[in-house]
Amino acid sequence: CMVRHYKFNVVLKNSTKLCSSKQIVTVNGKFPGPTIYAREDDTLLVKVVNHVKYNLSIHWHGIRQLRTGWADGPAYITQCPIQPGQQFVYNFTITGQRGTLWWHAHILWLRATVHGAIVILPKRGVPYPFPRPHKEKVLVLGEWWKSDVEAVINEALKSGLAPNVSDAHTINGQPGPVSGCTSQGGFTLPVGASKTYLLRIVNAALNEELFFKIAGHQLTVVEVDAVYTKPFKTGTVIIAPGQTTNVLLNADRKAGRYLVAATPFMDAPIAVDNKTATATLHYSGTLSSSRTILTALPPQNATSIATNFTSSLRSLNSKKYPARVPLKIDHSLLFTIGLGVNPCKTCVNGSRVVADINNVTFVMPNIALLQAHFFNISGVFTDDFPGKPPVPFNYTGTQPSNFATTQGTRLYRLAYNSTVQLVLQDTGMITPENHPIHLHGFNFFVVGKGLGNFHPNKDPKNFNLVDPVERNTIGVPSGGWTAIRFKADNPGVWFMHCHLEVHTTWGLKMAFVVDNGKGPNETLLPPPTDLPKC
**CA atoms of 306 and 239, how far apart (whole Å):** 9
Q: Examine residue 471 and tell whether it contacts ligand C2O (CB under 6 A).
A: no
Output 178 or 368, the one with its CB closest to ligand C2O.
368
State the binding string over 389-428 for ligand C2O (x if CB under 6 A, else -): ----------------------------------------
Q: Examine residue 64 and tell whether it contacts ligand C2O (CB under 6 A).
A: no
Output 441 or 448, the one with its CB closest to ligand C2O.
441
Choose which of 64, 217, 275, 440 interacts with ligand C2O (CB under 6 A).
440
Smallest CA-to-CA distance from 318 within 232, 228, 247 is with 228
Q: Examine residue 115 and tell whether it contacts ligand C2O (CB under 6 A).
A: no
Output 213 or 499, the one with its CB closest to ligand C2O.
499
Choose which of 67, 217, 373, 438 interacts with ligand C2O (CB under 6 A).
438
3-state SS, residue 110: helix
Distances (CA, A) of 365 to 64, 79, 356, 370, 412: 23, 11, 16, 11, 16
Using omega within 30 degrees of 0 as the cis cutoff, is the peptide bond preceding 231 cis?
A: no
Q: Find residue 214's DSSP bridge partners.
A: 260
Q: Examine residue 503 and tell whether it contacts ligand C2O (CB under 6 A).
A: no
Select the span of 210-218, 302-310, 398-406, 495-503 touching ligand C2O (CB under 6 A).
495-503
- Whether the CB-CB separation of 487 and 387 falls below 8 Å is answered with no
Q: Which of residues 75-104 bind ligand C2O (CB under 6 A)?
A: 104
**CA atoms of 42 and 26, how far apart (whole Å):** 25
Choose which of 64, 67, 106, 217 interacts with ligand C2O (CB under 6 A).
106
Choose which of 454, 495, 506, 512 interacts with ligand C2O (CB under 6 A).
495
- Whether the CB-CB separation of 262 and 173 falls below 8 Å is answered with no
Q: Whole-number minimum distance, CB 271 to ligand C2O, in Å?
A: 32
Choose which of 74, 163, 298, 436 interacts with ligand C2O (CB under 6 A).
74
E-strand spans in 370-491?
406-408, 411-414, 419-426, 435-439, 444-451, 470-471, 473-476, 480-487
Number of residues in contact with ligand C2O, rule: CB under 6 A? 11
Select the span of 216-224, 245-253, 260-268, 494-502 touching ligand C2O (CB under 6 A).
494-502
Output 109 or 495, the one with its CB closest to ligand C2O.
495
Q: Find residue 24's DSSP bridge partners.
A: 13
Output 74 or 186, the one with its CB closest to ligand C2O.
74
Q: Whole-number minimum distance, CB 512 to ligand C2O, in Å?
A: 13
Q: Examine residue 59 and tell whether it contacts ligand C2O (CB under 6 A).
A: yes
Q: Examine residue 213 and tell whether it contacts ligand C2O (CB under 6 A).
A: no
CA atoms within 13 A on the CB side of 176: 25
Select the span of 156-164, 276-284, 491-499, 522-530 touching ligand C2O (CB under 6 A).
491-499
- Whether the CB-CB separation of 351 and 160 falls below 8 Å is answered with yes
Residues in Cβ contact with 89 at an 8 Å cutoff, skipping those fewer than 6 apart: 45, 46, 47, 48, 528, 530
CB atoms within 10 A of CB 229: 26
DSSP-derived pairing of the beta strands 292-293 and 331-343 = unpaired
Q: Whole-number minimum distance, CB 374 to ligand C2O, in Å?
A: 20
Q: List contacts with ligand C2O (CB under 6 A).
A: 59, 61, 74, 104, 106, 242, 438, 440, 495, 497, 499
